[in-house]
Chains A and B, each alone.
Chain A
Amino acid sequence: MSFSLKRVYAIFNKDIKDLFKNMFVLSTVLTPILLAFLFSQSEPIPVGLHYFIINLIFVMTTVYVQGAIIAEEKEKNTLRGLMMSPATTTEIMTGKSGLSALLTIVTLVVCMRITGYEFVNVPAIFLAFFMSFILYLAMGTLLGLLTRTVMEASLVLMPLLFVFGMGTLLLEFIADYPSLAFLEYLPNFQLQFLAEAVDAGQAFTDVTGYLIVIAAWMVLLCILTVVVYRKRAVDGK
C-alpha cells in the first residue's frame, strides 16, 4: 500500500492551523512549562523531580493533545470524512500524531532547558524516551477513540494524569505498602528508574529490564489502538 507524505502533511497542517484558534489545547501545553519554572527556583533538582515533569509532559501534552484532537474529530463528525477519503489508516494516524509529537518535543526541550536536565547514557535514555513517546501517543489515540467529546476526553484524562503523570510522587508511599508494588511496572515508574540507574552510572545492559517493560507497554497499547480503530471504522457513526 502506498504512503503519501502529502496527505499526512495536509492533515498535520490542518491541525496546526486549528491549534492557534484552540486556546483550550494551547493552555494545557503550558502547564508543565509553568511547573518547570516553579521547580527551577530550588536547586539542585533531583532526577525524580525532572522525571515528574517529563512524565507530566507525556500525559498532558502527548496523551491529552492527541486524545482531545481525535475526540474532537469524533465530536464534530470529521473523522468519518478522513476515513472515507483515500487516505490510509497509517496516513491518517501519522498526520493526526504530528501535532502532539511537535508539541511534545517542544515542551520537553523547553522544560529540560528550564530545569537544566542533562542526559547521561544517551542511547538508553533516547530509546526509553522514544518508546515512551509512542506508547503515550497510542494511549492518547485510544483516549480519543473511546470517548465521544473533548469534554469526555478531559474527564477520562484525570485518572490517567493521576496514575501516569503524578504516580511517581507516591514512590515512598508505595514502599510502605508492598501490595502496591505492581504499580512500579507502570511505564512512568520504569522511565524514572531507568533514568536514576543511568544517572548512578549503570550501563545500557544493566537497564534493559526497564526498556523491555516500556517496550511491552508500547506494543500492548499500539495493538489495542489498532483494534479499537478498526472497530470504530465500521460502527456507522
Chain B
Amino acid sequence: MDNILSVKALKQVFSKETAIDNMNFEVKRGEIFGFLGPSGAGKTTTIKILTGQLHPTSGSALLFDVPSTKVNHPKYLKKIGVMTDNSGLYSRLSVYDNLHLYCELYSVENKRKRIDEVLEMVNLIDAKSKVVSKLSKGMLQRVTLARALLHEPELLFLDEPTAALDPANSRHIHHGLQELNRKGTTIFLTTHDMQEAELLCHRVAFLNNGKVQLLDEPSKIRRKYSDDTLTVELVGGEKRTLINGPEGAQKMYEYMLNNQVVTMHSNEPTLGDIFVDVTGRSLL
C-alpha cells in the first residue's frame, strides 16, 4: 500500500506557542486514519496545514506526492474533501441551494441524485429545502459533512465530524463513512472520542501538545498495553483478578468446578485509558 499523505518534521509556531512540534506520520491509501487528542492538541492546525490553508513554519507534508503548500490547484483540490471549523454555509439559502453551488464548483454530474445521496448519508433528507439559518448546530454539522462528500473525494479530511451529534446520528454517519471508505476514500479524521476512533479507524495516532506520541492499530495498542489479566466475578459479588498463566488457570479451574463464576472478562484497557497512560492527559 502506498502513502497518500506523508508528514515529515512538521512544525507550526504561532506568535507565542508551538502548536505542532516535529510531527511525523504517514497515511496509507485506503485507510481511515484517526488523529486522537484533547482540545488544543493541534488537530485542526494539522488539517489546515495538510490542506494548504496554512503554510507550516517548517517541515513538510506531501499529499499525492505534492507539498501541501502547492496543493492549492484545481487538479488536487478536486480530489480532496474538507470539513473543518471554517467550513461555513450560506445561512440565507436552503440546504439544497448550498449543496447545489458546490456541485457546480466541483462539476458533479447528476446533481439532484447526488444531493439526495449525500443527504441520506447524513440522515437529513427531510431538511433538503430548509433554510440553513433555521437548522440546529448538529444539523449544520451534518450539512457541512454532506457538502464535503458531494464530489466523492479520494482523500477526505474530517475535523471532529460527530462532535455535536447525538449517538443515533453518529452511528448513522459512522456507517456512511465506513461505506465510503470501502468504496475507496481515504479518510483522515480527528476526534477526541476514543470510541469513535476505536470503531472507525484502522490506525490511530495519539496527539498531545503538537506531538504524535503513539501510532498503531487500535487492537494492537490495546494488546500492547494490556496487563494480561482477567477479572472474574464470583457468586456473592466478590471479584478476583487472575494472571494469564498456569497459576491463574488453576484458580479458574477451581472456581468453575464449584459453579462460582458469574462473569469473567479480560482486562484490556480502553484507548482512553491508554491515552492517559501515554500522554499523562485525559482526552476531554
In the assembled complex, the CB of A61 is this many whole angstroms from the nearest CB of chain B, namely 20
Residue of B nearest to A87 (CB): B105
B88 touches A77 (CB 8 A): yes
Q: Does B78 contact A (CB under 8 A)?
A: yes
A85 touches B90 (CB 8 A): no
Residue of B nearest to A237 (CB): B86
Complex contacts, A9 vs chain B, CB 8 Å: 104
List the 7 closest A-B pairs by CB distance, nearest first.
A77-B88, A10-B104, A236-B54, A86-B74, A85-B105, A78-B88, A21-B92
A84 touches B80 (CB 8 A): yes
In the assembled complex, the CB of A150 is this many whole angstroms from the nearest CB of chain B, namely 12
Residue of A nearest to B77 (CB): A86
| Surface stretch bound by B, among A11-19, A49-57, A211-219 | A11-19
Contact residue among B55, B85, B91, B106 (Cβ-Cβ distance under 8 Å from A86): B106
Cα-based distance from A234 to B51 in the complex (angstroms): 10
B87 touches A88 (CB 8 A): no
Q: Does A28 contact B (CB under 8 A)?
A: no
Selected A-B contacts with CB under 8 Å, 21 pairs: A1-B74, A6-B107, A11-B101, A11-B105, A14-B90, A14-B97, A18-B92, A77-B87, A78-B90, A81-B88, A82-B105, A83-B72, A84-B77, A85-B102, A86-B78, A86-B106, A86-B107, A88-B74, A234-B54, A234-B69, A236-B54
Interface residues of A in 9-66 (CB under 8 A from B): 9-11, 13-14, 17-18, 21-22
A80 touches B53 (CB 8 A): yes
Cα-based distance from A173 to B106 in the complex (angstroms): 55
Cα-based distance from A77 to B85 in the complex (angstroms): 8
Cα-based distance from A24 to B111 in the complex (angstroms): 32
Q: Does A76 contact B (CB under 8 A)?
A: yes
Given contact pairs A14-B101, A87-B105, A234-B55, A80 touches B92 in the complex (Cβ within 8 A)? no
Q: Does B218 contact A (CB under 8 A)?
A: no
Q: Does A179 contact B (CB under 8 A)?
A: no
Given contact pairs A10-B104, A88-B74, A76 touches B90 in the complex (Cβ within 8 A)? yes
Cα-based distance from A96 to B105 in the complex (angstroms): 13
Interface residues of B in 51-71 (CB under 8 A from A): 51-55, 69
Complex contacts, B93 vs chain A, CB 8 Å: 14, 17-18
Residue of A nearest to B44 (CB): A236
Given contact pairs A7-B105, A10-B105, A82-B105, A77 touches B55 in the complex (Cβ within 8 A)? no
Cα-based distance from A76 to B90 in the complex (angstroms): 7
Q: Does A2 contact B (CB under 8 A)?
A: yes
Complex contacts, B104 vs chain A, CB 8 Å: 6-7, 9-10
In the assembled complex, the CB of B167 is this many whole angstroms from the nearest CB of chain A, namely 27
A18 touches B90 (CB 8 A): yes
Total of A-B residue pairs, C-beta within 8 Å: 79
Q: Does B124 contact A (CB under 8 A)?
A: no
Q: Does A176 contact B (CB under 8 A)?
A: no
Interface residues of B in 77-135 (CB under 8 A from A): 77-78, 80, 82, 85-93, 97, 101-102, 104-107
Cα-based distance from A83 to B91 in the complex (angstroms): 18
Q: Does A118 contact B (CB under 8 A)?
A: no
B87 touches A86 (CB 8 A): no
In the assembled complex, the CB of A89 is this many whole angstroms from the nearest CB of chain B, namely 9
Complex contacts, B54 vs chain A, CB 8 Å: 234-236
Cα-based distance from A219 to B91 in the complex (angstroms): 35
In the assembled complex, the CB of B101 is this many whole angstroms from the nearest CB of chain A, namely 5
Q: Does B48 contact A (CB under 8 A)?
A: yes
In the assembled complex, the CB of B45 is this many whole angstroms from the nearest CB of chain A, namely 7
Q: With contacts A81-B147, A84-B51, A85-B102 known, what are 6 further pairs, Cβ within 8 A?
A: A6-B107, A9-B104, A77-B86, A80-B53, A233-B72, A234-B55
Interface residues of A in 61-101 (CB under 8 A from B): 76-78, 80-88
Residue of A nearest to B69 (CB): A234
In the assembled complex, the CB of B56 is this many whole angstroms from the nearest CB of chain A, namely 10
Interface residues of B in 196-219 (CB under 8 A from A): none
Residue of A nearest to B51 (CB): A84
A80 touches B74 (CB 8 A): no
In the assembled complex, the CB of A85 is this many whole angstroms from the nearest CB of chain B, namely 4
Cα-based distance from A18 to B92 in the complex (angstroms): 6
Contact residue among B69, B91, B97 (Cβ-Cβ distance under 8 Å from A17): B97
Cα-based distance from A78 to B97 in the complex (angstroms): 14
In the assembled complex, the CB of B147 is this many whole angstroms from the nearest CB of chain A, namely 8
Complex contacts, B82 vs chain A, CB 8 Å: 84
Complex contacts, A81 vs chain B, CB 8 Å: 87-88, 102, 147
Cα-based distance from A78 to B104 in the complex (angstroms): 16
In the assembled complex, the CB of A90 is this many whole angstroms from the nearest CB of chain B, namely 11
Residue of A nearest to B71 (CB): A84
Complex contacts, A22 vs chain B, CB 8 Å: 92
